Amino acid sequence: MENLEELRFVCKRCGNCCIDKNTIVNITYLDILRLKTGLNLDLKEMLEIIGFYVFNKKLTEETLDKMVVSPIESEKGLTFTGLLKNKSGKCYFYDKKKTKCLIYNIRPMLCRTFPFSFDLSSNLGNKATGNVKLFYTEKAKKYCPGIGSDSPVIKFENWIKIGSETLKELEKNHHFNENWNKSVKNGNVLPNVKHYISTIYKISHI
């Protein structure tokens, strides 16, 4: 973990995190529910804004365990769910002319937390952070001009609160996707992305 005093950030609205072709905008099932409600999307419309990104090689259990957002079994194999991107890698919801996110208030959890990532630690011994570790993502170090010595020191309490909520959501998402994957393996559901989304749509509240 970086020294907390060195964590500095202010968004410079460069859009790099929304247009990087190597960044998948991962979404959780809770993001899907928020998008459904916020944009009033039916199932067909939802499928039009989600990308299903298939792994082209078999992954080990260890690699799978380390993934921040768990993949799901689909008709094409193990797949990440994320917002759709165009061919150049730009997020479907990024308005390049206005340099802004068109769904800012309901943008996915991982967009809200960028450029930070979080982890749990039992012995940080720091009252300000509790047991949440906070650090820059590797992608942020590569292309986010908003981090670094020119930017103001972040408000730790705010970010630790966001980190704590994020870790809870990721855990919930992990269980949801794990149940889906188990159901597929047991033959209880077909590995079909449309069915995956319709299962999420049956959840009545977040």
> What count of Cα atoms within 13 Å lies in the side-chain half-sphere of residue 43?
10
**Residue recorded with tokens 């905008």:** 25
C-alpha torsion 171→177→182→183, nearest 10 = 130
Residue 115 vs 191, nearer CB to ligand SF4: 115
* 82 near ligand SF4 (CB under 6 A): no
Verify binding: residue 7, ligand SF4, rule CB under 6 A: no
- In the chain, where do the E strands start and end? 50-54, 72-74, 77-83, 94-95, 100-101, 116-120, 132-136
17 scored as a contact of ligand SF4 (CB under 6 A): yes
Residue 101 is a binding residue for ligand SF4 (CB under 6 A): yes
Q: DSSP E strands: which ranges in 99-177? A: 100-101, 116-120, 132-136
Give the residue, chosen from 69, 72, 83, 109, that forms a contact with ligand SF4 under the rule CB under 6 A: 83
**Least CB distance to ligand SF4 at residue 188 (A):** 33
Task: Identify which of residues 94 and 180 has a Cβ nearer to ligand SF4 in the complex.
Answer: 94
In the set 144, 154, 160, 170, which binds ligand SF4 (CB under 6 A)? 144
* Number of C-beta neighbours around residue 8 at 10 A: 16
Q: Which lies closer to ligand SF4 via its Cβ, residue 40 or residue 60?
A: 40
Applying CB under 6 A, which part among 49-57, 60-68, 72-80, 108-116 lies near ligand SF4? 108-116
